[in-house]
Amino acid sequence: MKLKITSIFLAVVMLITIIPTVSLTAMANTPCPSSSTNNSNGAYEHGFSQGAGVTHLGHYTGNQNSPADAVIVPNRIHIYDVVSIGGDCYNRVGNTSRIISIRLQEPFRCPASCPNETHPNNERGIHTLHNRAFAGLPNLIEVTIPSSVLNIGEDVFINCPKLQRINVAASNPNFSSVNGVLYNKNRTELIKFPSGRNVTSFTVPSTVTSIRKDAFTSLTKLRNVTIPAGVRVIDRKTFDRSKSLQNININASNPNYASTNGVLFNKNRQTLIRYPEGKTAKSYRIPNGVRIIGQEAFYSHNRLETVTFPSSATTISERAFENCTNLKTMTLPNSVTSIEAEAFRACRNLEVLTVRRNSIRIHPDAFLACTKLILRCNRNSGAHRLAQQRNINFILMNVKRKVTFKDGRKTLRRNNVEHNNVLTTKQRNYKGKKKGFKFGGWYADKKLKKRFNLRQRITKNTTVYAKFTRNKK
């Protein structure tokens, strides 16, 4: 195929040319190049740094002759060395479910006079996997990484739920693998535990001191993980979207973290960091002493219906309960002073949230997409003002409305109801009594023409009237 290289494309490619020693946190996804080349295992879109004699793989377009792709990534295309794999390279093929394995070709050696060396010992090969390089492959089982790879970005294996093994060449100077789990060379950093690895429990090796932010994301099998004393850094996103994970257990000697019943806290247990998504209980009582509900602490937990807060709680951090789709009711104690942005975003079944404190700071976007929400609060409180500003339904606890039940002019019963609240079940079930008469329901008018809806919200003092019919003799 003829290679078409425009001046604009050359400028873009020059920007994405990556030096092997680039900082991992600074690596960005390479943009989609425009040239395309077939090889023995399918076709790629790729871009060239012509002067350097190298190319960067953009998007794999597939091998249409195979029902399932065991992809072998080439280390050369035509006369160009392949040096990197761009973001989302493989998840844009027509049918991503076809890809079951990916093996990067081993580097090749060239003479000492060979220009543009990209690896020690004059080895030439792929040296960089950009962020999300292998993301979004639903049936990917195995990835094999050669000795030439020096840089692995973030989220490289994200959303690969069946991934069981990441194999690394023993001669790789920067990375290693043990039983399919990816580490740095000296195993002080755990980079990725394969999401679909078929074990229910895993103990992080004692050599590990840090865990990459996407290390335990999207787990489908693992239920229990044990963190050793030496781990100093656990990112808040480390366990995202892990529906199988039930317990995060921390060694008691760890100086930075602690756990209680499989829930992750900081060492003094004043910050709740992560409540595992795989826990099956419908309710949870946050332990006494916890002050801060951390960012995304309960993110996307879809079993919890209610959470009880201790009187020590002060802060609900950003996205703490986002997408907890089964939450129904919750009461915040008077100690809570702050609810941060998107704290309850997309809690679509959260019906009543009671906010007891008047002087509370609530971010305007705390309740985005909470379609059923009613804030139960005091009049002129921070929660009341937010409800008015954001058009959220509210109940005023400190404003009472009277509902009077009458038989004509005779008062049978009187109930106090919070403004905009509804009658309790017991109040709704009350039936008037009159000797020699049969009760026929409650009406909104004296002439007994219009039935009263006992489930309606009470926003003013209200009188309802009983209908009675004389018993037949």
CATH for 456: 2.60.40.4270
pLDDT band at 359 (very low <50, low <70, confident <90, very high): very high
298 part of a folded domain: no
pLDDT of amino acid 446: 94
- Residue range 312-341, pLDDT digits in tens: 999 999 999 999 999 999 999 999 999 999
- Nearest CA-CA partner of 145 in 124, 175, 118, 119: 175
- Residue range 214-260, pLDDT digits in tens: 999 999 999 999 999 999 989 889 999 999 999 999 999 999 999 99
pLDDT of amino acid 41: 44
- Check whether 12 has a pLDDT greater than 70: no
208 part of a folded domain: no
Least confident of 54-63, 347-356, 379-388: 54-63
428: exposed, middle or buried (Cβ count in 10 Å: 0-12, 13-18, 19+): exposed
CA dist., res. 428 & res. 303, Å (int): 30
- Check whether 159 has a pLDDT greater than 80: yes
- Check whether 5 has a pLDDT greater than 90: no
CATH for 147: 3.80.10
180 part of a folded domain: no
DSSP H or E run through 11: helix 7-16
CA dist., res. 343 & res. 144, Å (int): 40
pLDDT of amino acid 125: 86
**400 close to 377: Cβ distance less than 8 angstroms:** no
End-to-end Cα spacing for the chain = 101
pLDDT of amino acid 95: 66
The percent of residues above 70 in pLDDT, for the chain, comes to: 81
215 part of a folded domain: no
- Check whether 54 has a pLDDT greater than 50: yes
Q: What is the mean pLDDT of residues 293-313?
A: 97
Q: What is the mean pLDDT of residues 22-29?
A: 33
Q: What is the CA radius of gyration of the chain?
A: 31
- Residue range 232-245, pLDDT digits in tens: 989 889 999 999 99
Residue 248: CB atoms within 10 Å:
24
- Residue range 414-468, pLDDT digits in tens: 999 999 999 999 999 999 999 999 999 999 999 999 999 999 999 999 999 999 9
* Distant-in-sequence contacts of 232-235, Cβ < 8 A, 24+ apart: 232/256, 233/209, 234/264, 234/273, 235/211
pLDDT of amino acid 40: 41
Q: What is the mean pLDDT of residues 72-82?
A: 79
**355 close to 335: Cβ distance less than 8 angstroms:** no
pLDDT band at 61 (very low <50, low <70, confident <90, very high): low
Q: What is the mean pLDDT of residues 84-109?
A: 82
204 part of a folded domain: no
406 part of a folded domain: yes
Q: What is the mean pLDDT of residues 345-370?
A: 97
pLDDT of amino acid 18: 32
357 part of a folded domain: no
Please give the mean pLDDT across all residues of the chain: 86
State the DSSP string of 305-365.
Answer: -EEEPPTT--EE-TTTTTT-TT--EEEE-TT--EE-TTTTTT-TT--EEEE--SS-EE-TT
Which residue's structure tokens are 């350097």? 52
Domain end, chosen from 163, 190, 220, is at 163
Domain end, chosen from 124, 142, 163, is at 163
59 part of a folded domain: yes
pLDDT of amino acid 217: 94
- Domain of residue 145: give its range: 1-163
Rounded (5°) CA angle 24-30-34: 165
Q: What is the mean pLDDT of residues 73-79?
A: 78
- Check whether 62 has a pLDDT greater than 80: no
For the whole model, what pTM was predicted? 0.82
SS (H, E, C) 286-320: CCCCCCEECCCCCCCCCCCCEEECCCCCCEECCCC
Which residue's structure tokens are 């996804």? 29
- Residue range 362-400, pLDDT digits in tens: 999 999 999 999 999 999 999 999 999 999 999 999 999
- Check whether 124 has a pLDDT greater than 90: no
pLDDT band at 304 (very low <50, low <70, confident <90, very high): very high
- Check whether 39 has a pLDDT greater than 60: no
317: exposed, middle or buried (Cβ count in 10 Å: 0-12, 13-18, 19+): buried
pLDDT band at 198 (very low <50, low <70, confident <90, very high): very high
Instruction: Indicate the residue type of 369.
Output: A
Least confident of 79-93, 116-130, 135-149, 320-334: 116-130
Q: What is the mean pLDDT of residues 32-59?
A: 49
pLDDT band at 121 (very low <50, low <70, confident <90, very high): low
How many structural domains are present in the chain?
2
Domain end, chosen from 119, 145, 163, is at 163
pLDDT of amino acid 48: 46
- Nearest CA-CA partner of 8 in 37, 46, 34: 34
